[in-house]
Amino acid sequence: MQNHKLTSQAIYQQIDRAHKILLISHRNPDGDTLGSNFAMFNFLKNQGKEVTSFCVDPVPNYLNFLPDSHNLSNDHRVFTKTYDTVITLDCSTIELTAAEYLLQAIPSKYTFINIDHHVSNPGYGDISLVSPQTSSTAELLHNLFMDWKIEWNENIATNLACGVITDTGGLKNPATSYQSLSATSDLVNKGANIHKIMNVTLNQTSINKLKLWGRALERLTKVEKYNLVYTFITIKDFEECQADEDASEGMSNFLHVLKEGEVILVLREVGNNTIKGSLRTTGKIDLTKIAGLFGGGGHRKAAGFSLSGKLDYDNNKLRII
């Protein structure tokens, strides 16, 4: 078990002596990786640091409301500049930054800090703070910022609250703990408007997306033997519903509403002969073990994997070919 207090101090000391800092979010970014990035950006800027926020992908439209989101760069040339500190936020592996080769291009020596809450994070970097019992990287940053006694502002609070709210599905999923509720309450006290954040991040569903979900919902199937409920979405579904991969995000979390089945599995064909699987449970089973069988990972109660192949559905039988 990692000593969080010592690691927190080590991160603070490194940041304190740093001048040029690069913050990196994972590809296909969500409210947690970006909220954490922008909160850290705001804090470091106020400390007088030179800070660059980076993600290989742009800010999704629904997260444009986040303070400091306009500072995010997708320009690979940021890796030709010098930094003394590089921090990944919410990236369970370096590969998830989609910048592992770009990092090698940085022409200076730097201290590599890894701040994350995924149990599958191997603890890469010179300093790593990985806290699987924490709902979100944003909640972890709230702990660090409290520990460091930072000067809070509304923008930091809003960014962190967005991370906690999106990763807990609106403070509802199994990752929601006393600590995450308590952190959220504190962030509200510090100026975050959680009603707005919930509305903007959770209630923004398009008709095309619901049509896509309709197909998946119609196909829900229970496999009694494994106490598993599964469904799937094919490339054809995406095309016919005019929906992109983003539109299928969140389906496995939504299926927690089911009373049947201990494990939920959503399979999605995402092109290039690739199938993504998302696993969820509220039971005791450790999903990282199941996802691991297919080369994936994640959390005990929420995990995923990727396979190569296509989905073949005929006569009510689903096969991977």
* Closer CB to Mn ion, 194 or 311, in the complex: 194
DSSP 128-172: EEE-TTSS-HHHHHHHHHHHHT----HHHHHHHHHHHHHHTTTTT
The site for Mn ion (CB under 5 A) is made up of: 32, 90, 136-137, 167
In the complex, what is the shortest distance from the CB of residue 177 to Mn ion, in angstroms, rounded to a whole number?
A: 14
* Closer CB to Mn ion, 26 or 215, in the complex: 26
DSSP run (H or E) holding 182 = helix 178-189
Q: DSSP 3-state assignment of 297?
A: strand
* Closer CB to Mn ion, 23 or 228, in the complex: 23
* Closer CB to Mn ion, 90 or 269, in the complex: 90
* Closer CB to Mn ion, 91 or 275, in the complex: 91
221-230's contacts with Cβ under 8 Å and 24+ in sequence apart are: 221/318, 222/260, 222/261, 226/263, 227/261, 227/262, 227/263, 228/261, 228/262, 228/263, 228/264, 228/265, 229/255, 229/258, 229/260, 229/261, 229/263, 229/264, 229/265, 230/264, 230/265, 230/266, 230/267, 230/318
* Closer CB to Mn ion, 137 or 201, in the complex: 137
Number of H helices, E strands in the chain: 11, 14
In the complex, what is the shortest distance from the CB of residue 117 to Mn ion, in angstroms, rounded to a whole number?
A: 6
Using CB atoms within 10 Å of the CB of residue 288, give its burial: 0 to 12 exposed, 13 to 18 middle, 19+ buried. buried
**How many angstroms from the chain centroid is the CA of residue 236?**
27
Residue with smallest beta-carbon separation from Mn ion: 32
In the complex, what is the shortest distance from the CB of residue 136 to Mn ion, in angstroms, rounded to a whole number?
A: 5
In the complex, what is the shortest distance from the CB of residue 169 to Mn ion, in angstroms, rounded to a whole number?
A: 12
* Closer CB to Mn ion, 25 or 231, in the complex: 25
In the complex, what is the shortest distance from the CB of residue 78 to Mn ion, in angstroms, rounded to a whole number?
A: 23
In the complex, what is the shortest distance from the CB of residue 37 to Mn ion, in angstroms, rounded to a whole number?
A: 11
In the complex, what is the shortest distance from the CB of residue 303 to Mn ion, in angstroms, rounded to a whole number?
A: 13
